[in-house]
C-alpha cells in the first residue's frame, strides 16, 4: 500500500507479472498480478491516516486481505540514518488516529506483525540493503509546526516520520491480520536534505523488494 497511486502503478508494472488495474475510483489506483506465482495487489492508500483507513478497511472487509504492507517515503529523525536508507517500522507513535475515538483515554501501542518484521529484516540483510529497525512517528500533518514535538521524537530514538503506519497497525490488530511498514528515507529533518526525484526510483525499488520478500519468504 503506497500512499501515491502512481507509485502503485509503477510498482505493479515493475515487479508484478500480468498486472491489471482493478480500481480507479477517485483516482486511487490498484493493480493485481503475481510475483513468483503469488497473487499480489498493490493499491494506493492516499496521504494520511484517514485516507489509508478507508482503503485498508475495505481491502480487509470486502476483499479478504490478510497481509498489508505500507511502502512509502519518510523523513529521517536520527543523525546516523542517511538518504536512501530503508526504515522497517517495529512500532508507530502518534498524537491521534481515526481510531482514537474508540480507545478514548487508552494509549494503544500500534506495532508490526513480528513474522513480517523478521522476514523483512532477513530480506534486507540478504540483499545488502542499509536498513534500520525501530519506532517511527505517524504524523497528522505534512507541514509540521511543532518543532518541540520533533525534538522529543528525536530524543526518544524515533527513526523517522511518515503519515500512515500507526492506523494501519491498529486496523490490523482490530481485524486479526498482519501489517508492516517499510519506508525509504527521502528527506532528513535534522540536516534538511532531500533526495532528488530522479534518484528515487532505484531506492524505492529496494523497498518494494523487501516488502514482497517479507510477504512471501522463500
pLDDT tens sequence across 110-122: 999 999 999 999 9
Over residues 54-73, the pLDDT tens digits come to 999 999 999 999 999 999 99
How far apart, in whole angstroms, are the C-alpha atoms of residue 53 and residue 132?
A: 26
148 tagged catalytic: no
pLDDT for the residue numbered 3: 95
Coil vs helix vs strand at 186: strand
The CATH fold assigned to 5-215 is Rossmann fold (3.40.50)
In the set 85, 113, 148, 187, the catalytic residue is 187
Q: Where are the domains positioned within the chain?
A: 5-215
Q: Tell me the percentage of the chain whose pLDDT exceeds 70.
A: 98
DSSP class of 43:
E
Distance of CA 149 to the CA centre of its chain: 22
Amino acid at each position: 500500500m503506497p500512499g501515491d497511486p502512481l507509485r502503485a502503478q509503477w510498482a505493479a508494472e515493475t515487479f508484478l507479472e500480468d498486472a491489471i488495474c482493478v480500481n480507479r475510483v477517485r483516482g486511487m489506483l490498484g493493480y493485481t498480478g503475481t510475483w513468483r506465482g503469488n497473487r499480489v495487489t498493490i493499491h494506493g492508500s492516499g496521504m494520511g491516516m484517514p485516507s489509508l483507513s478507508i482503503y485498508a478497511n475495505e481491502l480487509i472487509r470486502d476483499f479478504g486481505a490478510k497481509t498489508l504492507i505500507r511502502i512509502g517515503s519518510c523523513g529521517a529523525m536520527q543523525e546516523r540514518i542517511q538518504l536512501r536508507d530503508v526504515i522497517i517500522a517495529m512500532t508507530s507513535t502518534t498524537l491521534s488516529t481515526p481510531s482514537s475515538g474508540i480507545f478514548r483515554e487508552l494509549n494503544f501501542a500500534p506495532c508490526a506483525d513480528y513474522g513480517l518484521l523478521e522476514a523483512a529484516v532477513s530480506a534486507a540483510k540478504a540483499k545488502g540493503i542499509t536498513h534500520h529497525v525501530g519506532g517511527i512517528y505517524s504524523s497528522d500533518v505534512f507541514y509540521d509546526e511543532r518543532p518541540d514535538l520533533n525534538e522529543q521524537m528525536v530524543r526518544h530514538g524515533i527513526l523517522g516520520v511518515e503519515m500512515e503506519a500507526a492506523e494501519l497497525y491498529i486496523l490490523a490488530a482490530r481485524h486479526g491480520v498482519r501489517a508492516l511498514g517499510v519506508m525509504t528515507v527521502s528527506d532528513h529533518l535534522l540536516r534538511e536534505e532531500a533526495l532528488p526525484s530522479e534518484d528515487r526510483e532505484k531506492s524505492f525499488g529496494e523497498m518494494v523488494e523487501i516488502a514482497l520478500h517479507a510477504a512471501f519468504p522463500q
